[in-house]
């Protein structure tokens, strides 16, 4: 595919099972490989046979994953090329849906295999528990319910994405309106904020209706699988083997006790710097000292070379990894016409190398993104020698430790991009962002715990639960006159609609990243070695062990959070900026 930014990548290992000339977009050819695996499973006569079978299954999964990634990369790098879009959609529509039942069948053959118990227990325990849950939760009667859930989710997205407002004679999407909240002119910010809030409120009834239906479906899905409530089902489904709803509640309590005082301090400071009576919802995104945006670089080449220098300063191996990505052209970073928006890191699962996609335009946000995505890329590079496909990726709670740590560690050398005052401003903004996001994570998570443990609740009760959480985690923002906007604020959080319970992962990972950073303040070399070692474990060990390998506690209470918030406060104090 010549639409890819990189040439043919060197194979990590020659294939043993998947034929070299196979067309991985042709279901017929793929199906015959699944047939072979189906037939071979019962014919395994030794543990070694079964391991070989697992590795062949792995090889097939990786080849299919890479095929899908390449088509996605080609499409997002060339949104104006209809062939690229067609090739991707072909895979999504003709291969993906067929894969699911076939992968399930193999999982079933594996968990019921008489030789499974003879495999080395420590090696396979994590794989086994995930595969067992995959098989255990499957209910044929849930398939149509999940299709309906996907349909409703898509409708939510469609409605959300279609909302626009008329602003100063122009039609703007709500996302486009976000930038006006950074304008120094307060009246303009208020006008922009009100327009967006009112536009969402006009659809409040529809959002509530979608959500009522989603909750009903999810409760039914949980009951069909034998669970008393959807929360317990979701924890199992998401593979949360290593923490419980009670641990999440500890996180909420810890954020309330340890983070909210800092939020209050930062808000008081912001209010003073802005010179306003009270902080209103439209006062939260603007630079409180009215400084122009940071300009870390002009050309994307500069961003790459400076980022390269930062990684080289941090650690020779990480520096070499990023250099290798450049050599193989595994970076497509500059914004240009015909590129999809946003940024992501994708792993080419067979070549076992990462790829980073971005739309850099010269903002501090770009520097944060490249550091973040490079953290994910280092994770992928670190697991290259792992032959079991499932173990080459870690649970999201730890993947984000890899990336968020790199933001904090990389920021230590951000003078590569800025003179000292700007470097401090960038670091301060980043740390404030962490302080401010933790309460929102707690709010979104606690809200979902409430929803799915209160079956049959009314809309009024749900709103009351949300408003109570806003009281707990919303800080001192003055919402007077905007009660309905505050009560419906969750309508904009797509995770609540689309990915139930998937959000606290970012909070858990941030606790890990802050610990890695704290460790690096004590001893950089040791912290970096622990970080690299933990990344190399991929998904082969349970979360507490991955965290321990990184030098972190897997614990979300005040005990863990208090010293981290002390460190953040201390750093913020050092980085103070005044007009
Ligand atoms: Zn990430």
pLDDT at 240: 98
In the reported structure, the alpha carbon of residue 89 is separated from the centroid of ligand 1 by a whole-number distance in angstroms of 25
In the reported structure, the alpha carbon of residue 468 is separated from the centroid of ligand 1 by a whole-number distance in angstroms of 30
In the reported structure, the alpha carbon of residue 372 is separated from the centroid of ligand 1 by a whole-number distance in angstroms of 6
**Contact between 65 and 349 (Cβ < 8 Å):** yes
In the reported structure, the alpha carbon of residue 373 is separated from the centroid of ligand 1 by a whole-number distance in angstroms of 6
In the reported structure, the alpha carbon of residue 311 is separated from the centroid of ligand 1 by a whole-number distance in angstroms of 18
| Residue 357, beta-bridge partner list | 332, 344
* DSSP letter for each residue of 476-535: T---TT-HHHHHTGGGG-HHHHHSTTTTHHHHHHHHHHHHHHHHHHH-HHHHHHHHHHHH
- Express each pLDDT in 540-566 by its tens digit: 999 999 999 999 999 999 999 999 999
- Express each pLDDT in 63-112 by its tens digit: 999 999 999 999 999 999 999 999 999 999 899 889 989 999 999 999 99
Residue 551, classed as helix, strand or coil, is: coil
In the reported structure, the alpha carbon of residue 370 is separated from the centroid of ligand 1 by a whole-number distance in angstroms of 11
Work out the average pLDDT over 3-12.
91
**Contact between 78 and 84 (Cβ < 8 Å):** yes
In the reported structure, the alpha carbon of residue 553 is separated from the centroid of ligand 1 by a whole-number distance in angstroms of 20
In the reported structure, the alpha carbon of residue 551 is separated from the centroid of ligand 1 by a whole-number distance in angstroms of 20
**Contact between 394 and 541 (Cβ < 8 Å):** no
Tell me what the pLDDT averaged over the chain comes to.
Answer: 96
Q: Residue 361 above 80 pLDDT? A: yes
In the reported structure, the alpha carbon of residue 137 is separated from the centroid of ligand 1 by a whole-number distance in angstroms of 27
CB atoms within 10 A of CB 274: 18
In the reported structure, the alpha carbon of residue 203 is separated from the centroid of ligand 1 by a whole-number distance in angstroms of 31
Work out the average pLDDT over 278-285.
97
In the reported structure, the alpha carbon of residue 139 is separated from the centroid of ligand 1 by a whole-number distance in angstroms of 31
Q: Quote the pTM value.
A: 0.96
Work out the average pLDDT over 423-434.
96
CB atoms within 10 A of CB 341: 9
In the reported structure, the alpha carbon of residue 279 is separated from the centroid of ligand 1 by a whole-number distance in angstroms of 31
**Contact between 507 and 397 (Cβ < 8 Å):** no
Q: In the chain, what percentage of residues exceed pLDDT 70?
A: 99
Cα–Cα distance list, 304 to 244, 371, 414, 454 (Å): 41, 10, 13, 50
Q: Residue 579 above 70 pLDDT? A: no
Structure tokens at 153: 């989710």
**DSSP category for residue 181:** G
CA nearest 452: which of 289, 277, 214? 214
In the reported structure, the alpha carbon of residue 358 is separated from the centroid of ligand 1 by a whole-number distance in angstroms of 13
In the reported structure, the alpha carbon of residue 434 is separated from the centroid of ligand 1 by a whole-number distance in angstroms of 14
Q: Residue 399 above 80 pLDDT? A: yes
In the reported structure, the alpha carbon of residue 369 is separated from the centroid of ligand 1 by a whole-number distance in angstroms of 9
In the reported structure, the alpha carbon of residue 58 is separated from the centroid of ligand 1 by a whole-number distance in angstroms of 24
Q: Residue 183 above 90 pLDDT? A: yes
In the reported structure, the alpha carbon of residue 416 is separated from the centroid of ligand 1 by a whole-number distance in angstroms of 23
From the number of C-beta atoms within 10 Å of its C-beta (0-12, 13-18, 19+), residue 351 rates as buried
Instruction: Give the H or E element holding residue 164.
Output: strand 164-167
pLDDT at 161: 86
Work out the average pLDDT over 152-178.
91
- Express each pLDDT in 328-349 by its tens digit: 999 999 999 999 988 999 999 9
């Amino acid at each position: 595919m010549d639409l890819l930014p990189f040439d043919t990548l060197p194979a990590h290992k020659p294939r043993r099972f998947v034929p070299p000339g196979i067309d991985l977009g042709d279901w017929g050819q793929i199906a015959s490989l699944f047939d072979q695996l189906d037939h071979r499973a019962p014919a395994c006569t030794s543990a070694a046979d079964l391991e070989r079978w697992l590795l062949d299954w792995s090889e097939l999964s990786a080849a299919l994953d890479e095929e899908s990634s390449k088509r996605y990369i080609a499409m997002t790098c060339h949104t104006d090329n209809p062939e690229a879009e067609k090739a991707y959609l072909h895979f999504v529509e003709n291969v993906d849906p067929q894969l699911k039942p076939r992968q399930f069948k193999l999982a079933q053959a594996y968990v019921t295999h008489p030789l499974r118990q003879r495999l080395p227990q420590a090696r396979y325990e994590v794989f086994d528990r995930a595969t067992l849950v995959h098989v255990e939760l499957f209910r044929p009667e849930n398939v149509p319910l999940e299709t309906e859930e996907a349909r409703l989710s898509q409708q939510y997205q469609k409605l959300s994405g279609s909302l626009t407002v008329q602003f100063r004679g122009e039609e703007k999407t709500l996302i486009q309106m976000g930038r006006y909240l950074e304008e120094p002119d307060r009246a303009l910010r208020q006008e922009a904020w009100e327009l967006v809030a009112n536009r969402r409120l006009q659809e409040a009834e529809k959002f509530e209706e979608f959500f009522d239906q989603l909750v009903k479906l999810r409760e039914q899905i949980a009951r069909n699988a034998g669970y008393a409530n959807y929360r317990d089902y979701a924890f199992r489904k998401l593979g949360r083997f290593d923490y419980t709803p009670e641990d999440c509640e500890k996180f909420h309590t810890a954020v309330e006790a340890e983070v909210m005082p800092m939020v209050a301090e930062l808000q008081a400071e912001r209010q003073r710097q802005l010179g306003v009576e009270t902080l209103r919802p439209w006062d939260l995104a603007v630079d409180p000292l009215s400084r122009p945006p940071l300009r870390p670089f002009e050309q994307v080449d500069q961003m790459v070379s400076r980022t390269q220098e930062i990684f080289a300063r941090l650690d020779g191996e990480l520096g070499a990894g990023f250099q290798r990505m450049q050599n193989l052209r595994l970076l497509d970073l500059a914004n240009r016409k015909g590129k999809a928006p946003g940024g992501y890191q994708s792993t080419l699962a067979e070549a076992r190398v990462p790829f980073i996609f971005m739309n850099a335009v010269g903002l501090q946000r770009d520097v944060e993104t490249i550091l973040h995505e490079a953290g994910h890329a280092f994770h992928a590079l670190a697991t290259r020698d792992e032959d079991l496909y499932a173990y080459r990726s870690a649970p999201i709670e730890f993947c984000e430790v890899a990336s968020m740590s790199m933001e904090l560690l990389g920021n230590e050398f951000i003078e590569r991009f800025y003179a000292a005052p700007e470097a401090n401003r960038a670091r301060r903004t980043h740390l404030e962002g962490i302080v401010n996001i933790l309460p929102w994570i707690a709010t979104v998570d606690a809200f979902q715990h409430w929803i799915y443990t209160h079956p049959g609740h009314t809309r009024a009760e749900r709103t009351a639960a949300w408003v109570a959480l806003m009281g707990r985690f919303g800080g001192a923002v003055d919402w007077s006159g905007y009660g309905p906007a505050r009560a419906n604020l969750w309508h904009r959080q797509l995770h609540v609609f689309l990915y139930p319970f998937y959000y606290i992962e970012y909070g858990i990972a941030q606790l890990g990243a802050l610990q890695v950073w704290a460790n690096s303040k004590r001893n950089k070399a040791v912290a970096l070695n622990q970080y690299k070692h933990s990344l190399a474990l991929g998904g082969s060990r349970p979360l507490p062990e991955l965290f321990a390998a990184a030098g972190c506690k897997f614990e979300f209470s005040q005990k863990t959070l208090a010293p981290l918030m002390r460190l953040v406060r201390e750093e913020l104090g050092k980085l103070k900026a005044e007009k």
